[in-house]
Amino acid sequence: MTFVVNSISVDSPCTSPYAQAPENGHFLAVAVDVETTPELSKDINKFVWFGAQSWKLIAENGTTYNGSLDSGAAYGCLNDAERLPSNIGPGEKVTGTLILDVPVSSGTLVLDATGGGGGWEWTFPAK
């Protein structure tokens, strides 16, 4: 798998006609391009998970947020065509945006897409 986080936007406007206010205070829009290889079909999981449960948030003061970054409001923020699929299978190439429902407007976003405790991190807003 290869992926690129193209941007992270705080309080990005929702586009869905059913949009609601964020439950935790702010929407964080994470625009991502993901490409998997056909060899992923040989893996025990057979997909890459980019859902909100794969992310964690660390506030600027170093405190990790213990709540969920997922909410009905976050899921309903974008139209289906704009939303990044949560499960990405073998040999797929996808582009989309993941909306996270977060309590702060700045901090560090951490992704552990493999579930192995490693991962990647980004500071937002970009400095």
- What pLDDT score does 113 carry? 60
My answer on whether omega of the bond before 17 falls inside 30° of 0, hence cis, is no
- What pLDDT score does 116 carry? 61
- What pLDDT score does 114 carry? 59
Among all chains, which residue has been given the structure tokens 């899921």?
75
- What pLDDT score does 43 carry? 85
Strands (E), 36-127: 48-49, 55-59, 87-88, 93-102, 107-111, 120-124
- What pLDDT score does 19 carry? 95
CB 48 within 8 A of CB 91: no
Mind listing the pLDDT tens digit for each residue in 95-121?
Answer: 999 999 999 999 999 997 656 666 899
**Single pTM value for the model:** 0.91
CB 69 within 8 A of CB 101: yes
- What pLDDT score does 63 carry? 95
Delimit the domains of the chain by residue range.
Answer: 2-54+67-104
% of the chain at pLDDT higher than 90: 76
pLDDT along the chain (127 residues), means of 10: 94 94 97 94 85 91 94 95 92 96 96 72 86
**Calculated CA dihedral for residues 8, 55, 119, 86, nearest 10 degrees:** -90
- What pLDDT score does 47 carry? 85
